[in-house]
Amino acid sequence: MRENQQEDFPGADRHSDADRGNTNNSAPQSTSRVVENTNPLSEGNGAAQLTRRSFLMWVGSSGAATALPAAAASAFAAPMAASAPVTMDPGLVNVRLTVNDVVRDAQVDVRTSLLDYLRENLQLTGTKKGCDHGQCGACTVHVNGRRVNSCLSFVAMHDGDTVTTIEGLGTPDRMHPMQAAFVAHDGLQCGYCTAGQIMSATALLKEPCGRGDADIKEAMSGNICRCGAYSNIVAAIRQVRDAT
Amino acid sequence: MHTFQMLRAQTPDDAVRLAAAGADSAPRPIRFLAGGTTLVDLMKLDVEQPQQVIDINRLPFDQVEQTADGGLKIGALVRNSDLANHPLVMQRYPALSQALLSGASAQLRNMATTGGNLLQRTRCVYFRDTATACNKRQPGSGCAAMDGFHRNLAILGISDQCIATNPSDMNVALTALEATIHVQGAGGARMIPINDFYLLPGATPQRETVLAPGELVTHVSLAAPVANAGSTYLKLRDRASYEFALSSAAVLIGVNGGSISHARVALGGVGTRPWRSPEAEAVLQGAAPNVDTFARAAAASVRDARTHRDNAFKVDLIQRCLVQALKIAVSPARRSA
């Protein structure tokens, strides 16, 4: 899958997924680990390992996120007051989300969108930023099982919510049937919209939707593909839908 | 984006109290945050710069309930997709379901709420661009749309200050259904008929509704459906899907003994607010349900239209849209029992 590509400077050495912490297409974490923003220049070979992503994270680091398995989360649970409104410090908010079956706690800038939190704080860069205004669908993820545009929410609105991204759907070795169908039908060219298309398509299977191709097109109209792979995208969705 | 303070309301009283407290002290506005599909978008554009944002997503306004009088009570936090696909809405208020499903995308409908859709802001490009003049965004700055890009803007209810269109589909259907909007403020609760909810731009286009600062929409109510009446929502636009209306019509038509006994007409894409047309209804009421009647009603609906250079086509488009919607609504298959 294209989501496996890293966004490196040309010629820079690639980190392995393990080097980058929990990232694209990795299985849900089974052990506790702390993900911190690090100075990319201090890593191993120094400038040779400088990536666009790690460099930008180093420059713009905005706090640390921790990851721990869901079973261990209760030890950290700090339930919200049942009555009085929770007033947060201006500028910073604490959030706890379950992302791809992993409980995540973080303190983030209040302006952080769910999309930016996934990409910049958790480094789940499979979810793409297209228009950043809810017009293209590249940022589509599932929140509590329903597809949404992650760019149009503040992550602070999702405290306690469960999020699934493309990384939580399948892996290159064990693809979700929809991912496999997109590969089989060439449902992409450049691949930038693909994660959003697949997240939308898998959600569609659980929604009220007619049986015709026109129904699929209508239900998928919130996902724009500038390469124009639409006919193959419809074919991929039809195959999975008809098999279920 | 300007930073802001986020408050999370646990109860409706919390929300109203927080809003009232902030309104007295904050130099910039207080905003309630529900689905976020309008507010977060406009905050990214610096069109909205709230001092405080009150997250109301945990308030108990997410239910659709049948009322004792056979009507419907729709919580302000009911998501557009849930409302559109609710069995009672599909069966009894099909125009509302159709309007909701014609708006935005499946993802956005999963986020957007009933209350938020009521307060959806215009898509006028100048309202959304802080580098340009817009009386709605910055009172007194002028209107770049008058001589600019305005083929999508209004021909009904405009003023010399503003020609921005209300972009909502849901609001048009709710207007034809004569919905009532229930709000709660520091001074208590009140009910507002939807026809009294939206303001014409006049000399104050920045004021779009009669809501007072800090007032919270809690729910919307619909009366029992009209017996033996047909309804539909028809939307015309530049694309087949995922596009705002150039013209739309929500109609509710009852026919009894060969004449129209009940007529409600609301238009979208052409008005500065969801546009109820008493002129069209007056032509329809008591007349025979045929194409000639429908054409006269459509002509009456645009009697007061005022166009600009590139949106005069809407005068024809909305008439054709309304005639077609009326033809669909009176077809036997559309009539409810």
pLDDT value, residue A126:
98
What does residue B22 show for φ and ψ, rounded to 5 degrees?
A: -70, -35
What is the SS3 assignment for chain B? CCCCEEEECCCHHHHHHHHHHHHHHCCCCEEEECCCCCHHHHHHCCCCCCCEEEECCCCCCCCEEECCCCCEEEECCCEHHHHHCCHHHHHHCHHHHHHHHCCCCHHHHHHCEHHHHHCCCCCCCCCCCCCCCECCCCCCCCECCCCCCCCCCCCECCCCCCCCCCCCCHHHHHHHCCCEEEEEECCEEEEEEHHHHECCCCCCCCCCECCCCCCEEEEEEECCCCCCEEEEEEEECCCCCCCCCCEEEEEEEEEECCEEEEEEEEEECCECCCEECHHHHHHHCCCCCCHHHHHHHHHHHCCCCCCCCCCCHHHHHHHHHHHHHHHHHHCHHHECC
| Structure tokens given for A198 | 């697949």
Instruction: Return the pLDDT at B316.
Output: 98
Q: Are residues A34 and A112 in the same domain?
A: yes
Give me the pLDDT at residue B9, please: 96
Rg, chain B, Cα only = 20
Any domain includes A85: no
Give A19 to chain B, closest Cα distance, Å: 33
Q: Do A25 and A144 reside in the same domain of the chain?
A: yes
Identify the contact set of chain B against chain A, taking CB-CB distances under 8 A. 1, 3-11, 14, 18, 33, 36-37, 40-41, 43-45, 53, 55, 57, 81, 85, 104-108, 110-111, 240-242
Average pLDDT over residues A182-211: 97
Q: Using pLDDT thresholds of 50, 70 and 90, give the confidence band for residue B22.
A: confident
Where residue B228 falls among pLDDT bands split at 50, 70, 90?
Answer: confident
Pair (A164, A181) in one structural domain: no
| Position A82 in a domain | no
Q: What is the pLDDT of residue A91?
A: 87
* Best B6, B78, B238 residue to mutate vs chain A (most A CBs within 10 Å): B6
Nearest to A83 among B10, B55, B104 (CB): B10
From chain A residues 144-173, the ones with a CB under 8 A of any chain B CB are 146-149, 152-154, 156-157, 159
Indicate if A128 and A226 belong to the same structural domain: no
Going by pLDDT thresholds of 50, 70 and 90, the confidence category of residue A63 is very low
- Say whether both A191 and A220 belong to one domain: yes
pLDDT of B153-176, one tens digit each? 999 999 999 999 999 999 999 999
Task: Report CB contact under 8 Å: B107, A86.
Answer: no
- Residue A84 belongs to a domain: no
Structure tokens at A141: 């993820």
Q: What is the CATH number of the domain that holds A100?
A: 3.10.20.30
Of A83, A93, A200, Cβ closest to residue B107 = A200
Q: pLDDT tens digit string along B62-78?
A: 999 999 999 999 999 99
Q: Does the residue A116 lie in any domain?
A: yes
Cβ-defined contacts of A176-179 (< 8 Å, 24+): A176/A202, A177/A240, A177/A243, A178/A202, A178/A205, A178/A236, A178/A237, A178/A240, A179/A1
Name the average pLDDT for chain B. Answer: 96
Contact B241 A153 (CB under 8 A): no
Look at residue A107 and tell me if it is in a domain. Answer: yes
Chain A positions in Cβ-Cβ contact with residue B111 (cut-off 8 Å)? 148-149, 152-153
Instruction: Check whether residue A49 and residue A98 sit in a common domain.
Output: yes
Domain membership of residue A54 (yes or no) is: yes
Q: How far apart are CA B35 and CA A84, in angstroms?
A: 22
Inspect the interface and report whether the beta carbons of A204 and B8 lie closer than 8 Å. Answer: no
Instruction: Kindly state the tokens that stand for B55.
Output: 């997250």
Q: Is A118 helix (H, G, I), strand (E, B) or coil?
A: helix
3-state SS, residue A47: helix
Claim to verify: residue A70 and residue A191 sit in the same structural domain: no
Query: Strand A146-149 to strand A140-143: parallel, antiparallel, or no bridges (unpaired)?
Result: antiparallel
Asked if A80's CB is within 8 angstroms of B33's CB, the reply is: no
CA B160 to chain centre: 22
Residue that wins the pLDDT comparison between B133 and A37: B133
Residue scoring higher pLDDT (B234 or A40): B234
Distance separating alpha carbons of residues B211 and B220, to the nearest angstrom: 14
Q: Which residue of A has its CA nearest to B37?
A: A152
Out of A87, A137, A152, closest to residue B7 by CB:
A87
ipTM of model over 0.85: yes
Name B193's bridge partners: B180
pLDDT for A37? 35
pLDDT value for B336: 52
**Between B210 and A2, residue with greater pLDDT:** B210
pLDDT for the residue A83: 46
Range of the domain at A127: 2-75+90-169
CA B86 – CA B91 distance, rounded (Å): 9
Which domains does chain B carry? 5-55 (3.30.43), 229-334 (3.30.390.50)
- Tell me which chain A residues have a C-beta less than 8 angstroms from the C-beta of B107: 134, 137, 140, 147-149, 200, 222
**Between B92 and B23, the higher pLDDT residue:** B92
- In the predicted structure, residue A17 carries a pLDDT above the cut 60: no
Contact A90 B7 (CB under 8 A): no
* Per-residue pLDDT, A188: 97
CB-CB under 8 Å, B7 with A132: no
**Mean pLDDT for the stretch of residues A107-115:** 97
> What CATH number is associated with residue A181?
1.10.150.120
Same-domain status, A151 and A203: no
How far, in Å, CA of A191 to CA of A197, rounded? 10
pLDDT tops 90 at residue A121: yes
Last residue of a domain, one of A130, A149, A169: A169
pLDDT of residue B129: 98
Percent of chain B at pLDDT exceeding 70? 99
Same domain, A165 and A227: no
- In this prediction, residues B143-159 reach a mean pLDDT of 98
Looking at the fold, whether A188 and A124 belong to one and the same domain comes out as: no
Q: Do A156 and A191 fall within a single domain? A: no
* Size of chain B, expressed as the number of residues it contains: 337
Region A44-51: mean pLDDT is: 46
| Same domain for A44 and A8 | yes
Domain-terminating residue out of A109, A143, A169: A169
A207 part of contact set with chain B, CB < 8 Å: yes
Q: Band the pLDDT of B335: cuts 50, 70, 90.
A: low
Per-residue H/E/C for B1-55: CCCCEEEECCCHHHHHHHHHHHHHHCCCCEEEECCCCCHHHHHHCCCCCCCEEEE
Instruction: Collect all residues of chain A within an 8 Å Cβ-Cβ radius of residue B1.
Output: 111
Average pLDDT over residues B309-333: 95
The residue-averaged pLDDT of A148-166 equals 98
Residue A11 confidence (pLDDT): 33
CA dihedral (B200, B203, B208, B214) in degrees, to 10, reads: -140
Residue A158 lies in a domain: yes
Task: Note whether B111 contacts A222, CB cutoff 8 Å.
Answer: no
A19: pLDDT strictly greater than 60: no
Boundary of a domain, candidates A169, A190, A206:
A169
By the 8 A CB rule, do B242 and B104 touch?
A: yes
Q: What is the pLDDT of residues B177-188, one digit of tens each?
A: 999 999 999 999
Domain count, chain A: 2
* Residue A80 included in any domain: no
CB-CB neighbors (< 8 A) of A133 in chain B: 41, 44-45
CA A14 distance to own-chain centroid: 21
d(CA A167, CA A158): 19
B interface mutation test: which of A62, A111, A209, A225 has the most B CBs within 10 A? A111
Q: Convert the pLDDT of each residue in B190-200 to its tens digit.
A: 999 999 999 99
